[in-house]
Amino acid sequence: MLSSILITGASSGFGEACAHKFAEAGYPLILVARRIDKLNDIKARLEQNCPIHISSVDVRDQKQVEQLFQTLPEEFKDIDILINSAGLALGLEPAHEADMDNWKIMVETNINGLLHVSKEALSGMVARNKGHIINIGSIAGSWPYPGGNVYGATKSFVQSFSQALRADLIGKRIRISNIDPGLADTNFSTVRFMGDRDKADQVYKDTKPLTAEDIANIIFWTTSLPEHVNINNIEVMPVCQAWSAMTIDRSMENN
């Protein structure tokens, strides 16, 4: 039995789905998000299946993350799996029209937040010579699209950082996996469009996208493989999605 699993971004989307999936298997969970009300609701639904510790933490704040690890109850201190699910996209404007504050929030959450939590979890994993970090990336990190500028760049970082961790940890029994979902119907687009659910719904109109549960199932499988097996990267799209043709501007010839 694992000592504990820490899930960031656990109040919604992929993080919440992972909490449900791992709770079904009885694993002790540390659920982290900013919204304590949501975490309380999830704990109430799941704690009959497994021990659960919840904490309201903004992963962008290094001090809050350090405090989380320093104050974990003894029975949760040994973290064998970290699922870095906290992340977001804001806006879909081209770079020259984008809001700089949105860019900063994406960098601070998707990059800095992941670094803060990973660094703290790694020290214990290295000391015990055991662990698995799952980073949630995106196909946007490999396949740019209009308006995805900084969001895609942050997810490229997640992929590159995951690979670098594998290089740093060679010779240790610590696994690093990067999961890159494509079109997935969670609260992702609602957040991106500042709560405009009608606009978010248009992203998924007439499609059958991935669900948060689909990704949770993939993550659970990734962690359940024998300890000598490391899934480096999984890129997953719904069948209705594929790589787009390269954009060609045909208005330039005579300009």
Burial classification of residue 14, based on how many CB atoms lie within 10 Å of its CB (0-12 exposed, 13-18 middle, 19 or more buried): buried
CB 81 within 8 A of CB 174: no
Tell me whether residue 151 is one of the annotated catalytic residues: yes
The secondary structure of 225-249 as a DSSP string is: S-TT----EEEE--TT--PPPPP--
Fill in the DSSP letter of residue 165.
H
First vs last Cα of the chain: how many Å apart? 66
CB 192 within 8 A of CB 200: yes
CB 6 within 8 A of CB 117: yes
- Report d(CA 207, CA 31) in Å as an integer: 31
- Report d(CA 175, CA 185) in Å as an integer: 28
- Among residues 27, 145, 151, 204, which one is catalytic? 151
Reference 6, options 120, 142, 137; nearest CA is 120
Q: In what order do the strands lie in the sheet with 5-8?
A: 52-56, 29-33, 5-8, 81-84, 131-136, 174-181, 233-236
Q: In what helix (H) or strand (E) does residue 31 lie, and over which residues does it extend?
A: strand 29-33
Quick count: other Cβ atoms within 10 Å of Cβ 181? 24
Catalytic site positions: 151
